[in-house]
A and B are shown apart, each in its own frame.
Chain A
Amino acid sequence: MTEPLVSLSGVAKSFTLHLRDGMRIRVVDNVSFAARPGECVVLGGPSGAGKSSILKMIYGNYRCDTGTIAVRDGAEIVDVAKAEPRRILALRAHVMGYVSQFLRVIPRVSALDIVAASAAESGLGRQDAWCRAERLLTLLNVPERLWSLPPGTFSGGEQQRVNIARGLAPDRPLLLLDEPTASLDAANRAVVVRLIEEKKKAGVAIVGIFHDEDVRDKVADRVIDMAAFATEKAA
C-alpha cells in the first residue's frame, strides 16, 4: 500500500479561554488516522465534535497540544505540530489545500483572476491556470458575465461557488474540505461530487467534512466517527 500523505497520531486539542477565567474546552483526544493518495476520509459526528478543529490543525491554522501530524512533502515528512511557520507556508503552497464554505473576498480582484491565481500558486502555467479557472467557473454555474467582476457584490451562493472553484483549482496532493457543499443546490452538489472524484482519480488524498449524506456516501472511502476521539466533556 502507498504511504499516507497525512497521518495523525495521538493528537489532542483544547482551548483555554483566558478571558473567561481560564475555562478549558477539551475538544478532541488521541486523534489517530491517515489518508493515502486517492483516498477520501470523511470525519463524521455531530456539530461541536471537533471536526473543523482537526482540519485546521492539519493545515497549521490551529496548534495542537500533543501528538504528531505527519504530512508528506515528496521524500520528506514534516510534522506540522512542530514545524516552523515558513515550513508550514511551503506545505500550503505545494502540498495541502483547504476549502471552507466561506470566501475571503480580496477587493478589486475579479472572480476569474482569483481562481486562476489560485491555480497558478500550485505551479500551473499561466495559460493552463486560465483554462482551468474558466472550466471550473463554467461547471459550477457561475454566469460568465460575472467572471470579470470582484465577487464582493455576488450573492452568497455565487461567492461560495467561486470559493469552491478557487479551492479546487490548484494541483496539490492533499485536500482538506470543510463542508464545501453546505447550502449548495442539488445540481451544484453533483458538480462538486464529480470534481472530488476527479481529484481522487488524480491521486489526491482528501480529508473532508460533509453535511449532506448523499455527498458523503458518494465520495467517502471511509467515515471516521468522531466519538472515537471524544474527551470527557466535564469542565
Chain B
Amino acid sequence: MSAAVGLAQGRLAYRRLARRRVGLLALMAALLAASLVADLTLGPARYGYGEVVGALLGFEGPPAVSVVVWDIRLPVALMAVVVGASLAVCGAQMQTVLNNPLASPFTLGISAAAGFGAALGFVLGVNLLPSGWSAWTIPFNAFLCAMACSLLIHALSQRRGMTTETIVLLGIALVFTFNAALSALEFIASEQALAAVVFWTMGSLGRTTWPKLAITALALAAVWPLFARQAWALTALRLGEHKAASFGIGVGRLRLHTILLVSALASICVAFVGTIGFIGLVGPHIARMLVGEDQRFFLPGSALAGALVLSAASVLSKSILPGLILPIGIVTALVGVPFFFSLILSTRSRPW
C-alpha cells in the first residue's frame, strides 16, 4: 500500500464518520420538527396536522385555529424545545468541565435553589419587583436563588485545592440544603400556597408566554457561540486536565467561564419552567452515544436530544390522560428512562 493511498483512506474514513454524525443530527432535527407539530395539534381541541401547518404558514383557515396555535400552543411547544435544548447543553458542559457523568443543573443544586426561591414567593410573599410586574415575581425569585447557588459554587470552586469531585460533592450538599429549606417553607405554608409550591416544583411549561420564551431563547443564543468558539478546547478537556493543559489550554479559566455561563442559562430555564431534572442528565448522554464527544457534533447533538425528549414528553403529557395535561417533569422521566436504558444497553462505546 503506497503512502498516498493510506492518506486518502485516512481522510475518507474520517470524513465518512463526520458525515454520519451530521446525518444523525439532521435526523434528530427532523424528528424534533415532527414532534413540534404533533405538540401543536394536541390540546383541549384536537386539530389535524394540515390545519396546524396551514395556520403556521399563515394560510387561510378557521381563525380560531390560527389564534389557538399562535397565541396559546406555539409558545408552550417552542418553550419545550428551547428549555430542553438549554438544559441539555448545560448538562453537557457541566459533565465536560467537571469530568463527571452525573453533573447536571439538577445535581449542582441549581434546580433545588430555584424551587426554594419560588416557594419564598408563594409562602412568604417575597416580592422584589415593583407592582405591575406580579407575573414575574416567582420566576424572578427562582432566578435569583438559582444564580446565588451557582455563584456560590463558582466562588468555592475557585479556592485552592478544589478538585472537580469536590465541586460535585458541594453541589449535592446544596441540593439537600435547599430541599430542606423548601420543606421547612412547605411545613409552614397555607394549604393554597402549598399546592402552588408542589405544582411549581413538578415543572410545567403551561406558564409560558412569548416574552418568557424570548428571554430563554436569547440566553441560549447568547451562550452558544461562546461554547462553539471553544469547541476544540472543551473537547480536549475530556482527555483529562493534564493532557488538555499540555496542549496549551488554560484549563482553570475555561472551567470557570463555562460553569458561570452554564449556571446563568440553567437558572433562567428553571426559573420559568420549574424542576425538570432529567433532561440535563440524559440529553448529553444520548448525544454522546450517537455522535461522540467532539463538541462540534456533541453540542448540537445534546441540544437536539434534550429538545426532542422534552418536546416528546410534552406530546405525551397531553395524550396519556385525555383532557388532562400531566406535569411535564413527571412525564420526562417516564419517557426518557426506558429510551435511555435501551440506548445504554445497546451501545458499544461507553465512556462512563
Are A and B interaction partners? no
A residues touching B (Cβ–Cβ < 8 Å)? none
B residues touching A (Cβ–Cβ < 8 Å)? none
